[in-house]
A and B are shown apart, each in its own frame.
Chain A
Amino acid sequence: MTGTGPTVERIKNAAKSRDAQVLEQCLAGAAHEGIPAMQVRDLLFGELESVRKRLMSNDTSIPEFLLTLDCVLDGLDRIRSYPGFTPRVDCTVVIGVVEGDPHDLGKNVIAGIYRACGYRVIDLGRNVPREAFTKAVRDEGAVLLALSAMMSTTMVVMRNIIRDARILTPAAKIIVGGAPLSAELARDYGADTYAESALTVIEKTEEVLAR
Chain B
Amino acid sequence: MNTQPAILSPRLTRTFMEHLKRRSRATLGTGRNVSPGAARLERMLNEALDAVAREVRPKVMYRMLPVRSLTGKSIRTDAGAVKSVKLARLAQNCRGDVFVVFVIATLGEAFEDLYRRETSLSGQFIIDAVGSECAELVTDGWNNKWNSLIKRRGHECSLRFSPGYCDWKLEGQTVIFGALDADAIGVTLTKDYLMIPAKSISAVALAAKKVPAAAPCAFCRSRSCPWRRMEFTGVP
Q: What is the interface of chain A, defined by CB distance below 8 A to chain B?
A: 16-19, 60-64, 66-70, 73, 100-103, 105, 108-109, 112, 151-154
Structural contact, B194 and A66, CB atoms closer than 8 A: no
Structural contact, B35 and A61, CB atoms closer than 8 A: yes
The main secondary structure of chain A at its interface with chain B is helix
Interface size class of B (residues with CB under 8 A): 20 to 34
Q: Which single member of B29, B37, B198 contacts A67 (CB below 8 Å)?
A: B37
Q: Considering only CB atoms, which chain A residue lies closest to B29 in the complex? A: A61
- Identify the interface centre among A66, A103, A108, A154: most chain B CB within 10 Å of its CB: A66
Structural contact, B37 and A100, CB atoms closer than 8 A: no
Q: Say yes or no: A100-B191 contact (C-beta < 8 A), given A70-B120, A70-B121, A112-B121.
A: yes
Q: How far is the CA of A73 from the CA of B119 in the complex (A)?
A: 12
Q: How far is the CA of A101 from the CA of B196 in the complex (A)?
A: 10
Structural contact, A103 and B40, CB atoms closer than 8 A: no
The reply to whether the CB of B144 lies closer than 8 angstroms to some CB of chain A is no
Q: Which of B52-60, B122-130, B147-155, B225-233 binds A?
A: B122-130
Q: Which of B79-118 contact A (CB under 8 A)?
A: none
Q: How far is the CA of A101 from the CA of B125 in the complex (A)?
A: 18
Q: Which single member of A103, A108, A151, A153 contacts B121 (CB below 8 Å)?
A: A108
**Given A62-B28, A100-B194, A151-B194, 8 extra CB contacts under 8 A:** A63-B28, A63-B37, A64-B36, A66-B125, A70-B121, A70-B123, A102-B194, A102-B196
- Identify the interface centre among A16, A18, A103, A152: most chain B CB within 10 Å of its CB: A18
Structural contact, B190 and A100, CB atoms closer than 8 A: yes
Q: Say yes or no: A63-B124 contact (C-beta < 8 A), given A16-B36, A151-B192, A154-B192.
A: no
Structural contact, B36 and A18, CB atoms closer than 8 A: yes
The reply to whether the CB of B143 lies closer than 8 angstroms to some CB of chain A is no
Residues of B within 8 A of A109 (CB): 121, 125
- Identify the interface centre among B128, B170, B190: most chain A CB within 10 Å of its CB: B190
Structural contact, A60 and B35, CB atoms closer than 8 A: yes
Structural contact, B35 and A64, CB atoms closer than 8 A: yes
Structural contact, A101 and B124, CB atoms closer than 8 A: no
Can you give 6 contacting A-B residue pairs, CB < 8 Å? A16-B36, A67-B41, A102-B194, A109-B125, A151-B194, A153-B193
Q: How far is the CA of A170 from the CA of B127 in the complex (A)?
A: 39
